A = this chain, B = another copy of it.
Amino acid sequence: MKVLILGGDGYLGWPTAMYFSARGHQVTVVDNYLRRNACTELDTGMLYPVPTLPRRAAIWEARTGHKIDVIIGDLCEPEFMRSLFEQPPEVVIHYAEQPSAPYSLMDYRHADQTITNNLRVTNNLMWAVRDLAPQTHIIKLGTMGEYGTPNIDIEEGWLDIEHKGRKDRFLFPRQAGSIYHTSKIMDTDLLWFGVRTWNLRVTDLMQGPVYGIETEESRLDERLRTLFNYDEIFGTILNRFIVQAVVGYPLTVYGKGGQTRGYLNIRDTLQCVYHSAMKPARPGELRIFNQVMETFSVNELAELTQSVGRELGYEVVIQPIDNPRKEAEEHYYNPQYQGLLDMGVKPHYLTPEVMREMFSVVESCRDNIREDVIFRGIRW
Contacts and interface: CB of A to CB of B under 8 A. Distances in A.
B161 A173 contact: yes
A77 to B, nearest CB: 9
B186 A174 contact: no
A380 interface: yes
Given A112-B124, A124-B112, A159 B152 contact: no
B128 A108 contact: yes
Contacts of A109: 78
A164 B160 CA distance: 11
A156 B178 CA distance: 25
A42 B163 CA distance: 43
Interface string A316-330: 000000000010000
Contact of A152 (B108, B150, B168, B173): B168
A299 B120 CA distance: 37
B189 A168 contact: no
A192 interface: yes
A182 B190 CA distance: 7
Given A166-B151, A171-B173, A189-B174, A120 B112 contact: yes
A119 interface: yes
Contacts of A162: 152
Interface string A169-183: 011011111110010
A367 to B, nearest CB: 39
A152 B167 contact: yes
A196 B119 contact: no
B120 A108 contact: no
A190 B189 CA distance: 12
A127 interface: yes
Contacts of A174: 189
A153 B179 contact: no
B196 A78 contact: no
Nearest to A82: B108
A115 to B, nearest CB: 5
A80 interface: no
Contacts of A380: 197
B159 A153 contact: no
Contacts of A177: 193, 197
Given A182-B193, A196-B175, A326-B197, A124 B151 contact: no
A332 interface: yes
Given A131-B108, A164-B152, A189 B193 contact: no
A49 B119 CA distance: 36
13 contacts: A78-B109, A112-B120, A152-B163, A152-B166, A153-B163, A153-B164, A159-B163, A161-B161, A166-B332, A175-B189, A179-B190, A182-B189, A182-B190
Which 10 A-B residue pairings sit nearest by Cβ, starting from the closest?
Answer: A108-B127, A170-B173, A151-B168, A186-B186, A152-B163, A152-B166, A197-B326, A182-B193, A185-B189, A150-B168
Given A171-B173, A186-B189, 12 more contacts: A78-B112, A108-B124, A108-B127, A108-B131, A112-B123, A115-B120, A152-B161, A152-B163, A168-B173, A171-B175, A175-B192, A196-B326
